[in-house]
Amino acid sequence: MSGIVRQFMNHVLPGVMRPLRILWNEIIGFFFLVFGVWFGGSAFRGFRNLNKPGGQGWMGVLAPGAGAAIMLGYGLHSFLKARKIGRS
């Protein structure tokens, strides 16, 4: 009986795991792109308020800008990884 179960799992799991890995990478990529756009908006608002009194200065631009670059880069990488998995 365990031989039949093992044979079934060897046939079914590869066919299920590949689409799940693609979907996982696409979902993670979407969330990181959303966070990157959110941080980018914060950096833009910091840049607009740079010369206004009571502004945060350059750290209000650089910190969210760096966060946006990291998040957008990882989101793009995740989508490219999902595409690579789909083509293999």
Question: Where along the chain do its domains lie?
Answer: 21-87
CA distance 32 to 51: 30
Q: How many residues does the chain have?
A: 88
Both tokens of 63, joined, read: 């910190």
pLDDT digits (tens, 9 = 90+) for 27-46: 999 999 999 999 999 999 99
The residues, any chain, with a CB within 8 Å of residue 23's CB and separated by 6 or more, are: 82
CA distance 62 to 21: 34
> Checking phi first, is residue 57 left (phi over 0); if not, alpha (psi -120 to 50) or beta?
left
Q: Is the pLDDT of residue 8 over 90?
A: no
